[in-house]
Amino acid sequence: MKNNNKAQEVVVSMRELERKFGEFIAVNKVSFDVYRGEIFGFLGPNGAGKSTTIRMLCGILNPTGGSGTISGYDIRTESEQIKLQIGYMSQKFSLYDDLTVEENIDFFNGIYNIPKEKKVERKEWVIEMAGLKNHRKSFPRDLSGGWKQRLALGCAILHEPPIIFLDEPTSGVDPISRRMFWDLIYELTGKGITVFVTTHYMDEAEYCDRIGLIYRGELISLGTPDELKHTHMKEIVLEIMCNAPQDKILEVENLAEVKEAAIFGHGLHVILIDSSEDTMKSAMRKIELLFKGDAEFSQKKIISSLENVFVSLIEAKDRERSPVQEVRR
């Protein structure tokens, strides 16, 4: 279980942070803080501006507007000091396939200038943490995705930084390895380390203490998973359990009270057009008639999933935009 009672010490801060590439605005005046020891999830579809924001915060990419600090160091002028405060791991794992497991660790020990007396200790920690005791001489290209992932994380935090940036770290990794990776993240935050993670997996977002949702370069929502589900989802969601949901989905979607419906497991999740009790009662009456005779039928109001919140917020943002505005890739 994650701890939501974090000390409110700001370690990552940005104000009106902006990055343009020519006329294209990749990050548009983004402002928020991240606190020590929390898991902060940065969500958004591909091309939303997640990686660009991380690169600016890590001192890899200069902002074209606004400001930011990492542990009090300015991202524009103190990038060398920032490098000592952070670990960075991208979805490509940042490993060298022509070096063995041990050689990769030795290489990063050198990059981070780990003191000679600590190098062996830190190497053994990484090998133990990654579960690679029997694979010291193996090459990363021969390891499973989960092993490579943990090895890359270990190499990124050899210097024991207080802040870790993880950019889509579980992309392409199997579910069991993803869960094990998140167990490692919990261990690290339990020691006071701050984790800033980008992901497009909605189940992973549930593990975060707070979430920022970025879309088309703009921060459109910020809060805990529960806050987003209870305050930002304006429509009611019904869960329908039934036989052969695919046979009824179009009829459900055609009801005047229904905004959209989707197959979810052995049933349907139905989003209504608004949050009024009258709309819900009317929809439930009509849905019950549609499924008359189905012995498996049941329906109930449920708390919205983060995926539904995500889609609802993005749709609302799109409705605000002029239809003639250019759509980002």
234-303 matches 10-230 in CATH topology? no
Burial of 61 (0-12, 13-18, 19+ CB in 10 A): middle
How many whole angstroms separate alpha carbon 285 and alpha carbon 95? 57
Higher pLDDT, 7 or 131: 131
Q: What is the pLDDT of residues 268-290, one digit of tens each?
A: 999 999 889 999 999 999 999 99
pLDDT of 329 higher than 50: no
- Residues 6 or more apart in contact with residue 243 via CB below 8 angstroms: 294, 295, 296, 297
Q: Of 8, 11, 3, 5, which is closest to residue 194 (Cα–Cα)? A: 11
pLDDT of 129 higher than 50: yes
Q: Do the beta carbons of residue 309 and residue 232 sit within 8 Å?
A: yes
Q: Give me the pLDDT at residue 266, please.
A: 86
Q: Report the side by side order of strands in the sheet with 39-43.
A: 86-89, 163-167, 194-199, 39-43, 210-215, 218-223
- What pTM does this model have? 0.82
pLDDT of 84 higher than 50: yes
Q: Got the DSSP string for 273-309? A: SS--HHHHHHHHHHHHHHTTT-TT-EEEEEPPPHHHH
pLDDT band at 325 (very low <50, low <70, confident <90, very high): very low
Signed CA dihedral, 215, 219, 225, 229: sign only: negative
Q: Of 3, 29, 90, 80, which is closest to residue 55 (Cα–Cα)? A: 90
- For the segment 38-57, the average pLDDT, to the nearest whole number, is 92
How many whole angstroms separate alpha carbon 182 and alpha carbon 9? 23
Q: Give me the pLDDT at residue 201, please.
A: 80
Coil, strand or helix at 261: strand
| Domain boundary assignment for the chain | 10-230, 234-303
Coil, strand or helix at 184: helix
Q: Of 11, 28, 113, which is closest to residue 65 (Cα–Cα)? A: 28
Q: Do the beta carbons of residue 238 and residue 269 sit within 8 Å?
A: yes
- For the segment 143-162, the average pLDDT, to the nearest whole number, is 90
Domain 234-303 has CATH 3.30.70.920: yes
Q: Give me the pLDDT at residue 256, please.
A: 95
Q: Give me the pLDDT at residue 322, please.
A: 55
The DSSP 8-state label assigned to residue 310 in this structure reads H
Q: Do the beta carbons of residue 169 and residue 91 sit within 8 Å?
A: yes
CATH class of the domain comprising 10-230: alpha beta
The token pair that represents 305 in the structure block: 């999933």
Q: What is the pLDDT of residues 215-239, one digit of tens each?
A: 999 999 999 998 888 777 778 899 9
